[in-house]
Amino acid sequence: MQFSNDIVDEFIEFYRGDYYKPATLIRFRRDILRFFNYAWDHGVQDVENIDIPLVESYKLSLVDTDVPVTSRYYGKCAKLAQKTVEEKLQVIKNFLKWSVYRYGV
């Protein structure tokens, strides 16, 4: 199953049913799309081909990411906080669990 906006929409709709706040769903969408872009840049275009080394390399890239200018922590921290990295990885984990549940991938 290839990465697509339709797949992301389905994933977000699944969580909308659990009454997540709109801001949380926006964050889920943003985080999963960033991961898809990272995977695409590393030659992975299908959900079936996501593996542990890819997720680990994404984690390392997140750990090395500068705090965005738009963050309230800009100027206070140089890199993303560990909690932020863990939240972004949790979205990927939830997506992968959902894709197994939904598509058997």
What digits encode the pLDDT tens for the residues 63-90?
Answer: 999 998 888 888 888 999 999 999 999 9
Is residue 13 within 8 Å of residue 60, measured between CB atoms? Answer: no
- What local confidence, expressed as pLDDT, does residue 71 receive? 83
- What local confidence, expressed as pLDDT, does residue 72 receive? 85
Which residue range(s) make up the domain with 85?
A: 5-103
pTM: 0.89
Q: Residue 14's domain is classified under what CATH number?
A: 1.10.150
- What local confidence, expressed as pLDDT, does residue 16 receive? 87
Is residue 47 within 8 Å of residue 35, measured between CB atoms? Answer: no
- What local confidence, expressed as pLDDT, does residue 1 receive? 86
Provide the domain count of the chain: 1
Position 91 confidence tier, pLDDT thresholds 50, 70, 90: very high
